[in-house]
Every structure is written in C-alpha cells, then in structure tokens.
Structure 1
Amino acid sequence: MRLYVPNESPTTVTNLLNGSVLVLIQFDVCEELRLDQLRNVKERTVQQQPSMKHGAPAYVRYERPPVVEPLEALQLDSGERLEGVIKYYDYGVVSVVFQLPFSGGWDNLVQLASRWVWDIDFASRAEPLVRARLDQYADAMIRPAARWLSEDYFIFHVSEGPEGPAAADLILDHGPEIAQVVRGDRMRLSQGECNEVLHSQISYYANDLTVIGWNAAFLYDSTAGAETAIQLLEYANSQLLEFRHYDELLTAILDKAYALLEQRTGVFARWRMAKSARTLHTTLLDVAELTERADNAIKFLSDMFAARLYRLAAAKVGVPDYKELVSRKVKTAEDLYNYMVDQFDQSRAFFLEFTVVLILLIELFYLFRGKPL
C-alpha cells in the first residue's frame, strides 16, 4: 500500500516526496543465537557489502552476518500494510524491519511520523510474530532471556530525485519539517529545538543528508546510498539493546553480592564468599566475552564516512552512555570480587594458623602428659 493524502496540492517538485518509512523493532532474546542451527531458514542473505554512493573500494562488513528471512506483513488499523523481514544476530538479538512506501507532501510526512512514533505500539505487535518464529529454533538459543528487552526506531527515507534540491537547500527550506519528523512532533518546534535536531546531521555529497535523533532519523538519499545508513542505525540500536542487557545483568549480580555481604556474620561466614566470588568472576568473563563479540560484530573497512555516521548514530541513541555505565559497574564488580577473594583468603589463613596452633598444642599435650612435674 502506498500512502498518499491529497490534501496539500503540491506545486513544485520539492514539495512532493517519495520514499519509504521503516520501523526497526529489536528484541534481546538470549545470550547467543547459533545461526548455523537455523536450518529452516531458506534465505540466509544480508547486505554484507552494500552499494556505497561514492566510488571508494570500501564497505561495511559483518563479522558474522545475520540470518535474514521474510516476515508476514503487518496490517495496521488504518489499513496500512507493512512488509517485513526478520534478522537473527549471533549475539542474541532479533531484529524486525517493517517498511511502507510513501508518497506525499511535507505535512503528510510530519503527520505520519507523529502518529507512528507516539500512537502505535509496534513492539507489542511484533513480539508475537518473533516468538512464533523462535519456537521453531529453540535449540539454537543459548540461555534464553526470561524477559525480553526491546528497542524500536523509525527511519523516514526520502528518495533523492534527479531534480531534487541540495542538502543545504533542503535544510534551508524545510529544516523545521525535518526537525518535526525526527522528533515525531505535530507542533512546530522552536528555532532552538530545530537547531538542536539539525545539529546531528551528516552528508557525504552535496545532495544527500542524514539527520539522526534518539528515536528516529531522516534520510535524504538514493535507495542505494540510504542502505548503509539504515544498516548502521539498526546496528547502533542493537548495541544499545545489548548494553541495556549487560546493565540489568550486572545490577542484579551486584545486588546479590551486597546482600551476601550484609548477611555475613562471624569469621567462618567468609567461606561462603568463595562460591559467590566464583559466580561473580564467571559473570564478568561472560560480560567481557559478550561485549567483545557485540563490539566486533561489524567492521568498518577503509570507509571513514561510515565510521563517522555510526559514531553519530550511536551517540544519539545512547550507546556511549550505557557503555560507560556498564564499564563503571564492571569496575565495581571487579573491586567487589577482589574484596570477596581477600576476605576468603583471610579466613583461610586464619583457619590454617588455627590448625597449626591446634596441632602444636596436641603434640605438646602428648609430649608432657606422662612426665611428672
């Protein structure tokens, strides 16, 4: 279904927009997905080497490309029919991408953005579809999550036409509308807020533009040129989801460790810390492994623009903030682990010293027991 609301009477080419709207919904379903065990997935393709706009011999390459398969279309109450695909990442994230072609004016796009961002709960609609698929691949899931974390993100892609304006002219003429689309707001934003939104823009050529917000992005580019930006935005959101998972995991572990420290009484109670310390250390190793795998999932080879675009996207959605939060909790957990090990070592040293003294007393007792004073 192509969305068009003929209530504007566009008179110029710049007022008529063509493109598509994408909804990314991602779920953290387990710690690891064994992609080689997804035997029923017939289509195992991914845009491993997307077509870049520039001619540089560079591309974005996944360390382990996700497995991709078509997903049944999503029918909204408004009648809009969204085609979808589902992607399985080896680090335990499942991504659903719904797409709807768009044709209309700026007011149409602003209204659509506001309605989709705030009025429709796409995650609740996508989750049953994902659960139904994963029921077929239960053996491929390592340590399934009891509660799924989710992230959603919206991408509004306006196709760059042969007679389309340059990015600078687009910002000059329609900057307020672009800011509204990125914010998902029906009301006209203040100049200061518009400047804040448009500050997060990046372009490679004079006639392409990407404006990134925390929950939506606006792309003005060709279909091939937008492909890389869409992949990087999807990856940045999956990183955010992973670090949210690590944050919750470390919070629960630290709470248990603090509770154990508060409950301990007496010297010998420290012996119970050995098991807790081992559990804490094992978890730290797991977090380090999962973090490294997620960080290394994608490689930027000879493409500094793609790397800059990813850093901007990651910063806007909050990846560095959560990564720093996780790093602080990892440091706290390491300090706590060292403290628990130190307490256990002190208890063990005390026990050994007590045993030596006890043996010495026993020997002295037997040595002097039969002798007269």
Structure 2
Amino acid sequence: MSDTLPTETMPSFSGILHCFVAFDWGEEVDLGKARQLVPAQVHNLPRKSRTPASIAYQSPPLRFDLKPSTLVLPVLGPIQVETDLMLFDFGAVSVRLQLPFHLVATELARLAGALSDPSIFVQAARAASESTYNQLLPAIDHPHWIDLSEEYFVFQIFPDAETPTPAQLLQRYPGWLAGLVRLESAPLSDSEIAEALRCQLGYSPQDLIVTDWTAAVAFDHDCGEILETLAFANLQLLEFRHIDNRLDERLKTAYGLIQQLAQTNRPVWQRHARSLRDLGALKVEVNLMFEKASNALTLVGDPYVARVYHQVASRFHLDEWGQNIRRSIAVLESIYQVVSNQAGSYRTEMLEIAVVLLIVIEILLAVFAH
C-alpha cells in the first residue's frame, strides 16, 4: 500500500478550505435586538433528504455576511477570503473563512502542513468581525470578548470523474489523507495513519468525511448541514473550555472561603455575604451557560448528520469536558451549601440567644415592677 502519490499519476483537487473560528462575546445575546442593530438573517440548519426535521437549532442563530478580506498563505499565495458569522443567543460566535482552491495533491498536503499555526486565521476572523461586535454591544448582556478561541479546518473536496473515489483514496493513499486531517505534511507512521483515519463516515460511495482533532476532510459537493455541525461542535468546545476556566478560577476562591470559615467565629454574613451571593449567582449562571451550549442544536436518533456530530464530538472529548464541568458544578454547589448552612446555623443561634435574652429581660422587669 502506497502512502505517497506518484508524480505521473498525481491528481488535482478542487474545493473549498473552510476555517471555523469560535469566540465568546458575552453571557447572552438578545437576537431580536441584534437584528435591529445590524442586518442579519435568522438562520436554520441546511437540510437534505438525509437530515430529518427533528435535527434543528433550538433557537436559530443569526447569520451576518462580513466584508471579504485577503490573506497571504503558503501554496495559495494572496487569496480573497469570503467571511460570514453565526451568532448564538448564549453569546458565542462562529466565524467562517472560505478559501477556494485547485491544487495538486502534494500542494494540498503542503497547505495542510502550513495550517498547523492557525494564528493568521484567528487574527483575520477577529479583524473581520470586530466592527459587528462593536455595533452589537447594546444587545449583548455583560459583553466581554474573552482572549480564547477555537479553530477547526475542513477541506471540502469536490468529487469528479477525474479524481479518485473516496474508496480509492483510502486504499491507495491513506498517508496523504491522514496528513490532511492532522495538518501534517511530513510522513506519518502506520499507527498514526490508522488513528487519524479511525473516524470516517460515508453516506454514498461518492462521499466521505474523515474527522480528527484539528481538521476534517469532506468529499462532497453539497454538505452544508455537515459543515455547520462541525462548526457547532467546535463552538461547543470553546464554550466548555470557557466554562471550565471560569469554574476553576471561582473554585479556588471558594476553597479559600471554606478555609477562612473554619478559622473564624465571626458572623458569616459580615465577612462573606458578598462571596455567598457571588457563589449562588455563578452556580445559576454556569448551569444556564452549560445547558444552552449543550442543547442549542438538537441531535437525536441515528441520522447521518447526528453520527457525524458524535464522531467529531468524540475527537473533541466533549463528553469528558461535560463530565468535568458537571463535577465542578457539583463541588461548587456543595461549597455553597456548606457556607449557606453555616450562615443559617449562626443566624439560628443568634436568634435563640436573642429570645433567651428577651425572656430574661421580661422576667427581670416583672420582678422589679413588684
């Protein structure tokens, strides 16, 4: 089995390189108000016969067309990039940059290797969407563009009669395919090739999708719902990372609060009332963020698009991220409960002492009155 493409039979491929860059702009977005501020389309998931109506966005995001920009990339050189933005009600955005290509297979491999540093795409996505962010500030609850992003590349290759079929590529050139999804132009070991190509699906003999952690290859002319599903999984990964970071920061503060309570006899509400309120507010806020990010796209049953999502979700370890967040939320709730219980106990003790004092005062007044 050959992992390289002989020069005399080297095929060329046409397609689009999609780069999805996810950002978080704030806690929540009023999409209705956002449409009044900046023209946008209410966007529903693209649908083909293989995608049932049950698979849909719970709250359809807004789609904004952004101004094209020009990037200078290895292999492609200066190229105009079509850009659009999807804004979700839980404050997350997915910017898509689309780069058409017509390249020989080895050139496509070189391009993939150059994408291992995505900084140029992150900067371009941020620059393209910054004006929209500033215009939408009145519609964003607690706007804050965090310094965190997630990037994902998809090589959409258009099948035609002149290029090998997906089955032929898997059989003859697995190393080349593995290099695309690993963003690696150098040769890979047999075990690494097998791991890179482990997650693959095909709806027909003419199409194929291979997903990995950093990139995917999709042999398909029309796969809008697949592309959006991959972009949404990338967006979820960003949100889960953001939520996990926030929980880690606040849990450190909460642990310190528990230690302080163990070392003092002062009333809890005098020293920790604000911390207690913050813990309660954060618990509600994080639960809401997590539920919205988890359930924004309904993917139930075993349709093809749902299987694609679960395939890439396994690559992103979204289940593990979710479990870690749930554990952190549970710990946060237990800390909140401990602090709240101690505050309640102290208040009860103070009330009992006050009642006893009132009884004593009443008895003394009765005695001296006679």
Q: Same fold (TM over 0.5)?
A: yes
User: Are 1:10 and 1:105, in contact at CA under 8 Å, matched by a contact in 2?
Assistant: no
Written as runs of structure 1 = structure 2, the 5 A alignment for 1:1-373 is 12=9, 15-38=11-34, 39-52=36-49, 54=50, 57-58=52-53, 60-77=55-72, 78-118=77-117, 120-145=119-144, 147-162=146-161, 164-222=163-221, 224=222, 226-264=223-261, 265-271=263-269, 272-300=271-299, 304-369=303-368
Give 3-state SS (helix, strand or coil) of 1:144's partner.
coil
For structure 2, which runs of at least 5 residues remain unmatched after alignment? Answer: none
Instruction: Provide Cα deviations, 1:270-314, integer angstroms capped at 9, x if missing partner.
Output: 234454333322222222222222222112366622111111111
Deviates more, 1:319-328 or 1:188-197: 319-328
Q: Structure 1 CA distance, aligned partners of 2:333 and 2:275?
A: 13
Q: Structure 1 CA distance, aligned partners of 2:78 and 2:165?
A: 34
Over 3 Å counting, the alpha-carbon distance change for 1:165 and 1:58 in structure 2 is farther
Instruction: Provide Cα deviations, 1:84-117, integer angstroms capped at 9, x if missing partner.
Output: 1122111111221111111122211110111123
Q: Structure 2 CA distance, aligned partners of 1:370 and 1:292?
A: 65
Stretches (4+) displaced over 6 A: none
Give 3-state SS (helix, strand or coil) of 2:59's partner.
coil
Over 3 Å counting, the alpha-carbon distance change for 1:130 and 1:9 in structure 2 is same
Identity, % of aligned positions: 29
Give 3-state SS (helix, strand or coil) of 1:147's partner.
coil
Q: Structure 1 CA distance, aligned partners of 2:337 and 2:320?
A: 26
Over 3 Å counting, the alpha-carbon distance change for 1:343 and 1:66 in structure 2 is same
Instruction: Provide Cα deviations, 1:143-171, integer angstroms capped at 9, x if missing partner.
Output: 11263421111111111224654433221
Q: Structure 1 CA distance, aligned partners of 2:354 and 2:301?
A: 65
Q: Structure 1 CA distance, aligned partners of 2:215 and 2:176?
A: 14
Over 3 Å counting, the alpha-carbon distance change for 1:17 and 1:59 in structure 2 is farther
Over 3 Å counting, the alpha-carbon distance change for 1:120 and 1:276 in structure 2 is closer
Q: Structure 2 CA distance, aligned partners of 1:111 and 1:164?
A: 19
- Structure 2 match to 1:5: none
Q: Structure 2 CA distance, aligned partners of 1:323 and 1:293?
A: 13
User: Are 1:59 and 1:303, in contact at CA under 8 Å, matched by a contact in 2?
Assistant: no
User: Are 1:60 and 1:298, in contact at CA under 8 Å, matched by a contact in 2?
Assistant: yes
- Structure 2 letter corresponding to 1:28: D
Instruction: Provide Cα deviations, 1:44-102, integer angstroms capped at 9, x if missing partner.
Output: 153523335x4x75574212222112212221233122111122111111221111111
Deviates more, 1:56-65 or 1:67-76: 56-65
Deviates more, 1:173-182 or 1:249-258: 249-258
Give 3-state SS (helix, strand or coil) of 1:76's partner.
strand
Give 3-state SS (helix, strand or coil) of 2:184's partner.
coil
- Structure 2 match to 1:4: none
Over 3 Å counting, the alpha-carbon distance change for 1:57 and 1:113 in structure 2 is same
User: Are 1:15 and 1:105, in contact at CA under 8 Å, matched by a contact in 2?
Assistant: yes
Over 3 Å counting, the alpha-carbon distance change for 1:120 and 1:261 in structure 2 is closer
User: Are 2:97 and 2:125, in contact at CA under 8 Å, matched by a contact in 1?
Assistant: no
For structure 1, which runs of at least 5 residues remain unmatched after alignment? Answer: 1-7
- Structure 2 letter corresponding to 1:254: L
TM-score, normalised on structure 1?
Answer: 0.88
Give 3-state SS (helix, strand or coil) of 1:110's partner.
helix
| RMSD across aligned positions (CA) | 2.4
Residue 187 (structure 1) shift: 0.8
Residue 331 (structure 1) shift: 0.6
Q: Structure 1 CA distance, aligned partners of 2:313 and 2:337?
A: 33
Over 3 Å counting, the alpha-carbon distance change for 1:91 and 1:201 in structure 2 is same
